[in-house]
Amino acid sequence: MSHPSVQTLDPAEVARLLAQGEILLIDVREPAEFAVERIPGALLLPLSTFDATLLPADGPRRVVFHCAGGKRSLTAAERRLAAGAASATHLGGGLQAWKAAGLPLITTDPATGLPR
C-alpha cells in the first residue's frame, strides 16, 4: 500500500479549479494577514487553531490549502493526511506565487478595513 503524499498545485491550476467550483480553498494564515489581502473565495482557517479532523472529506470539491509562501499550507496538508485523509493538496508558493501570476486578489487598507 502506498503512502499518501501532499499534492502541489500551481496558481493557474488553483485559479481554474476555484473558478469551476471544484475546490474548497482554505487559507491557513492568521486573521490579520487575511484581513489585508486574500484570494477571492478562500475560507480562513488559521494554522494556529487548525484541526484537520473538522474538515470535510474530499467529495465533489477537493480541499486545497494556501498560506503566504507555501510552508504553513504544506503543514496543514500533512496534518490532513495524518488525520486519515486519503489525499491532501496545497498551493505551491502560496499567496506570493498567486500574486506573481497576476491572479485576482482582495486587498484591504489595514487602517480603515476598506477595500483598496
What is the tens place of the pLDDT at every residue in 12-41?
999 999 999 999 999 999 999 999 999 999
How far is residue 80's CA from residue 54's CA, in Å, rounded to a whole number?
A: 10
Query: Is 42 within the bounds of a domain?
Result: yes
**56 or 51, which is more confident?**
51
Burial of 57 (0-12, 13-18, 19+ CB in 10 A): exposed
What nine digits make up the cell of 45? 482557517
- Domain membership flag for residue 114: no
pLDDT given for residue 3 in this prediction: 55
Residue 92 placed within a domain: yes
Q: In this predicted model, what pLDDT tens digit does every residue of 60-112 receive, in sequence order?
A: 899 999 999 999 999 999 999 999 998 899 999 999 999 999 999 999 887 77
Residue 25 in domain: yes
* Structural domain containing residue 15: 7-104
64-74 confidence digits (pLDDT tens): 999 999 999 99
Answer whether residue 86 is part of any domain. yes
Residue 62 forms part of a structural domain: yes
Q: What is the CATH number of the domain that holds 82?
A: 3.40.250.10
Give the total number of structural domains in the chain. Answer: 1
